[in-house]
Structure 1
Amino acid sequence: MMEVKYAVHPDDYKHYTTEILRKHFLVEKIFVKNEANLIYSHVDRIIFGGIMPVNKNIELNNMLNELKSEYFLERREMGVINIGADGIVTIDGTDYYLKSKDGLYIGMGAKDIQFKSIDQERPAKFYVSSTPAHTSYPTVKIEISKANPVELGSLQTSNERTIYQYVHPAVCKSCQLLMGMTILKEGSVWNTMPCHTHDRRMEVYFYFDMDDDTRVFHFMGEPQETRHIVVANEQAVISPSWSIHAGVGTKNYAFIWSMAGENQDFEDMDLIDVRNLK
């Protein structure tokens, strides 16, 4: 299944009710048993979502109507991070075993891609992001120990966290996709503050590792026209390039971030002074 979400102009979003805001920017259900549940966003043409094989293999090439392509990665690249139990991604006959929090970059041109779990009682949960690509780079398995860790924040500002860069120039080559995972330490609840925009790239946040009664208040919008979306466990928010993207939780949590757009410079961002937020 692939849902299509269209781009939104910042002048329009100012008039949205909570219900409409959630309809256009929030994805409430990422993982569905024995399905590839994907979202095609017209914001930089990113595709993201969850693949959760339980008692059967799941392959991508049965969802090609929206792409009008011969196979899924004919003109695309993909990043994968497993947040569930052990699983296998098979790419053109080669198996890649992914434990929890292991990742994978799949280059353009890979034709036969299948996902399966080792134990159906403890299924894998593959979170994926895919962007248009212009050339083919090698497929790379990225264990969390091989991701590039960046320590940021402090307990005093309630945002002490580790950013693990998976699909990133410091780890592997990709065309435009950037993808990684941020884990907040106990006692920290802000995923970033001061917040920022990056007009050359959009971003998707996928929140997970949350208790049933934990919520994240995800802030978005232009700096002088902010709104918030209340997000539960294993839900995702689309952040257009014109929007800030910051969240504060009722408890610490983790999230996977994916970016698509003009460049791959992780530091390319426009910081917003907290005093200028409205």
Structure 2
Amino acid sequence: MTAALRRRSGPALPRLLWAPAVMGLALVALPLVGLVVRTDLAELPARVTSPGAVAALWLSVRTAAISTLLCLLLGGPLAVVLARGRVPGRNVVRALVLLPLVLPPVVGGLALLYLLGRTGLAGQVFHAAGIRIPYTTAAVVLAQTFVAMPFLVVGLEGALRTANGRYEAVAATLGARPWTVFRRVTVPLVLPALGSGLVLCFARALGEFGATITFAGSLQGVTRTLPLEVYLLAETDVDGAVAVSLLLVVVAVAVVALARPRGCDDTPRPVHGASS
């Protein structure tokens, strides 16, 4: 009985790990507790249902969903190519892909502005064709995608590198075409990592601020997402900013909790056939 329980619960952890682990949890959780304590619960419903907050929430959810889809369509293939393909200068390419993780978001917004702005490298062509990207909803989506896509690429590439490639090799030797192998073998192997990466992308896009305000501005109903609404309220209505901040926290927690794939749960499973 005791041996079976040990196998199920895993190896014992060193006691020295518990103190810093609790401190790390406190560092993340206690500021949120302070936010809840600071919130006026009596006025909370009125503040979070104000026209500005509702419009910002709807815009944030909509643009974050579109950004997550773009991360899947662009970042997914990029991760597969980096993990499985023969890419010249792969380390340089990987460093470029991961750069938004370490760049301040404001710098990313400036980079997008000087690429797609009216006098930017590509923006001049778009402007000549009558297409304006900065300070539009499309700019919000691009800014969110810029900062969120590395989260998908990192997780998915790592999963592809650690996945057993024998199944793909067997499918190829049996005559399956590359696209069939990718669709029927590769994708199911990394599906938990893909789902987890998409959840992280959505959460990151939902909370994006710096690149958005630099590249898209803050136009109500057009580019003013929920983080920008919090920033503006903090200058004029602190209680309103706290209430909307709590709304953003609740939405982010709900997304991570409900959309997290079951395959990402690392809780040890019971060992079948273990003696009781």
TM-score range, shorter chain: under 0.3
Bigger RCO of structures 1 and 2 (CA < 8 A, at least 6 apart): 2
Q: Which has the higher strand share?
A: 1
The higher radius of gyration belongs to 2
